[in-house]
Structure 1
Amino acid sequence: MNFQEFIKNGLVRKASPDSQLLQSLLKVIDNDLSFLETVQITELSARKVIGNYYDTLREILEVIALKGGFKVYAHEPFVAFLKEKGKESIAAKFDRFRILRNSINYYGASISAEEAIIYKQELLDLISTLKKEL
């Protein structure tokens, strides 16, 4: 499904950028990243840590979409949003983590601490790349 179809289906709506909301979201993102850096990845914490890094990545995409005049009400439209902006590689990586997060949250999938360490770095790389657009 392309981005325009998500708009037609109501999963994305046009919105006016709200500078106070954007600033608030950016502060939440920075606070979350600071907190996550203090959490040690263990077998017990791995799935939650990765889920929270994914949520931070998604929040950055929310800010970018809002700045562009869109409010997104689901995770999958962000893939189409990124593709429409010509960011195919980032879209594919985001979608991979979206699917991983869904597997963890909805199907009880587990990940090892070793996998989580690798995923964390990949997520941080994506976050860093996207933060440059803020």
Structure 2
Amino acid sequence: MRFDNFLKQGLARIAKKDENLAKALFMTAKRDLIFLERTEIDEFSSRKIMVGFYDVLRNLLEAIAALNGFKIYSHEAFTFYLKEIGEETISVKFDRLRKIRNRINYYGQLVSVEETEENINEMKEIIVFLINKYLKFLEG
């Protein structure tokens, strides 16, 4: 599948490039990140923290898409959008994280503290990379 398929299916659309939206999404993601980093990971919080970090990552991807003139409605479409912009490695990682998030949200799967910590470390690396490459100029 390709990102074009999601456009044809209406799961993503071409939109006006929107730096204001991108900045708002970026700032929201940064605030959420501060909250999540202050929250202790334990057997009760690990699920919510895992999903929270995923949501930060997704918000950053929405911001990048807004800068490039896209509105994306499907989490899966972000996997193919990442491929479209040349981020194949991140695309694979994001898709794996998306599936974990889906199992948590839709099937009630629990995640251990250890698994959460591993996934959060990976997401933090992706977050830093995406900010530095695509969004840093919005901080000004």
**TM tier, smaller:** over 0.9
What residue in structure 1 maps to residue 25 of structure 2? 25
User: Aligned partners of 1:67, 1:18: CA distance in 2, in Å?
Assistant: 6
Supply the AA of the counterpart residue of 1:114: E
Aligned counterparts, 1:3-14, within 5 A:
3-14=3-14
User: Quick check: which one's helix share is greater?
Assistant: 2
Aligned counterparts, 1:1-134, within 5 A:
1-132=1-132, 133-134=134-135
State the secondary structure of the residue aligned to 1:76.
helix
Supply the AA of the counterpart residue of 1:60: L
Q: How many residues align?
A: 134
Whether the aligned pair in 1 keeps the contact of 2:22 and 2:64 (CA below 8 Å) is no
User: Aligned partners of 1:10, 1:111: CA distance in 2, in Å?
Assistant: 33
TM-score by length of 2: 0.92
Deviations 1:30-66 (A, max 9, x none): 1001111110000110010000000000000001111
Q: 4+ runs of 1 displaced by more than 4 Å?
A: none
User: Aligned partners of 1:20, 1:88: CA distance in 2, in Å?
Assistant: 27
Tell which deviates more after alignment, 51-60 or 83-92. Answer: 83-92
Supply the AA of the counterpart residue of 1:112: S
RMSD: 0.9
State the secondary structure of the residue aligned to 1:44.
coil
TM-score by length of 1: 0.96
User: Aligned partners of 1:89, 1:73: CA distance in 2, in Å?
Assistant: 22
User: Aligned partners of 1:73, 1:91: CA distance in 2, in Å?
Assistant: 17
How far off its partner does 1:10 sit? 0.4
User: Aligned partners of 2:21, 2:86: CA distance in 1, in Å?
Assistant: 26
User: Aligned partners of 1:130, 1:19: CA distance in 2, in Å?
Assistant: 16
User: Aligned partners of 1:19, 1:85: CA distance in 2, in Å?
Assistant: 18
Supply the AA of the counterpart residue of 1:107: Y
